[in-house]
């Protein structure tokens, strides 16, 4: 059955496996196997992939019938795209985890906007002080960099708070729930208008260090910055300097520039995680039990689209990722 194997190196939900088995109806094999034999690798047409270490050059060379890599994660910058043949389609799991991540975004906005961490700290010290005043979201402008699954859902929820919604994407084309959408070229004026900035764009060669010192000079001095995309989209040193010199600004950071190895203490190149105006979390914005089912269903749905010859979601261009430091961008 050469060229007729769907291989997954990650466990999938029972519901997702059942849907895939119904779709292939005995016409292909499906295996979940982390260490397949070289003979089985030659049969692989579709690979459902999790983790950055599994896809080695040696394994790719053996998968001579490989046609599709469907990633379990939404970001794919951690892959070594240079070794993937041009004939192989690579798809991210774009939008799979949007709903729990959006809940995290607005939880962070309310936490930072109402100064809950500061109030909690004072209360535990016996200080009952009803200041400073918090941020009223109604009428404020939320700017979202990236208008895909996460970005669009951020805008949708923002509308329930009666907020103005601005978006940034590569095309500048309009997207539902956004009052206006601009291209990346309009980033500086976009930042000037935004009370809250949410980073939800993939890390590519074009978006690495997208926000640096020059861009942060255009951010409102009392802004809230939320990054649920990838750390390297914002220059670490520039963000640290900005937050240090603008204590009235706040940031929720879920994605980082350096990830600790097993047993290593978490620390960044700057002490940004220690700043009092930073809400730090361990790349856990999708950290709910339901995310496993959401990721499984989304990945399998795209595999089924491939089998049916339908347009694929999350298809990426590997050349957009050439030269990225994929080893340091993801846990």
The one-digit pLDDT tens for each residue of the chain (331 residues) are 456 999 999 999 999 999 999 999 999 999 999 999 999 999 999 999 998 889 999 999 999 999 999 999 999 999 999 999 999 999 999 999 999 999 999 999 999 999 999 999 999 999 999 988 899 999 999 999 999 999 999 999 999 999 999 999 999 999 999 999 999 999 999 999 999 999 999 999 999 999 999 999 999 999 999 999 999 999 999 999 999 999 999 999 999 999 999 999 999 999 999 999 999 999 999 999 999 999 999 999 999 999 999 999 999 999 999 988 554 455 5
Looking at domain 98-280, its CATH architecture is 3-Layer(aba) Sandwich (3.40)
Q: How far from the centroid of its chain's Cα atoms is residue 120's Cα?
A: 29
Would you state the pLDDT for residue 52? 83
Nearest to 331 by CA among 256, 235, 279, 221: 256
Mapped onto helix, strand or coil, the DSSP state of residue 29 is strand
pLDDT score for 324: 83
Nearest Cα neighbor of 48 from 76, 70, 74 is: 70
User: Of 3.40.50.2300, 1.20.1250.20, 3.40.50.720, 3.40.50.300, which CATH number belongs to 5-95+291-328?
Assistant: 3.40.50.720
C-alpha–C-alpha distance, residues 45 and 65, integer Å: 5
Query: What is the full DSSP assignment across 35-88?
Result: S--HHHHTTEEEEEE-SSSS--HHHHHH-TT--EEEESSS--TTS-GGGS-TTS
Cα Dmax for the chain: 72
CATH 3.40.50.720 range(s) for the chain read 5-95+291-328, 98-280
> CA separation (Å) from 244 to 224, 241, 251?
14, 5, 11
pTM of the model: 0.94
pLDDT at residue 1, rounded to an integer: 41
Q: Report which DSSP code applies to 329.
A: S
pLDDT of residue 95: 95
Q: Which residues contact 72 (CB under 8 A, 6 or more apart)?
A: 10, 48, 49, 50, 93, 295, 299
Coil vs helix vs strand at 155? helix
Looking at residue 131, what is its pLDDT? Answer: 84
Q: Which residues have C-beta within 8 Å of that of residue 123, sequence separation ≥ 6?
A: none
Alpha helices in the chain (DSSP H): 14-24, 38-41, 57-62, 98-113, 116-124, 149-160, 187-193, 213-216, 236-245, 290-308
């Amino acid at each position: 059955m050469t060229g007729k194997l769907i291989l997954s190196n990650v466990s999938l939900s029972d519901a997702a496996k059942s849907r895939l088995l119904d779709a292939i109806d005995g016409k292909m094999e499906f295996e979940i196997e982390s260490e397949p034999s070289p003979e089985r690798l030659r049969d692989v047409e579709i690979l459902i992939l999790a983790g950055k270490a599994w896809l080695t050059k040696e394994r790719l060379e053996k998968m001579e019938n490989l046609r599709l890599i469907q990633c379990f994660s939404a970001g794919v910058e951690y892959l070594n795209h240079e070794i993937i043949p041009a004939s192989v389609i690579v798809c991210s799991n774009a939008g799979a985890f949007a709903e729990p991540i959006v809940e995290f975004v607005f939880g962070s906005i309310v936490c930072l906007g109402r100064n809950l961490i500061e109030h909690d700290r004072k209360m535990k010290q016996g200080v009952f002080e009803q200041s400073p005043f918090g941020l009223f979201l109604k009428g404020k402008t939320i700017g979202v960099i990236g208008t895909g699954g996460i970005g669009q859902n951020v805008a949708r929820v923002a509308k329930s708070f009666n907020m103005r919604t601005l978006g940034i994407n590569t095309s500048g084309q309009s997207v539902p729930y956004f009052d206006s959408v601009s291209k990346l070229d309009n980033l500086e004026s976009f930042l000037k208008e935004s009370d809250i900035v949410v980073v939800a764009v993939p890390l590519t060669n074009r978006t690495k260090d997208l926000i640096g010192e020059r861009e942060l000079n255009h951010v409102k001095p009392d802004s809230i910055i939320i990054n649920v995309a990838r750390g390297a989209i914002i220059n670490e040193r520039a963000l640290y300097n900005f937050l240090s010199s603008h204590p009235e600004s706040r940031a929720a950071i879920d994605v980082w520039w350096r990830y600790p190895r097993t047993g290593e203490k978490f620390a960044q190149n700057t002490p940004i995680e220690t700043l009092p105006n930073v809400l730090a979390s361990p790349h856990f914005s999708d950290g709910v039990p339901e995310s496993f089912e959401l990721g499984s269903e989304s990945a399998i749905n795209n595999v089924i689209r491939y089998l049916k010859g339908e347009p694929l979601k999350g298809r990426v261009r590997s050349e957009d990722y050439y030269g990225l430091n994929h080893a340091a961008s993801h846990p």
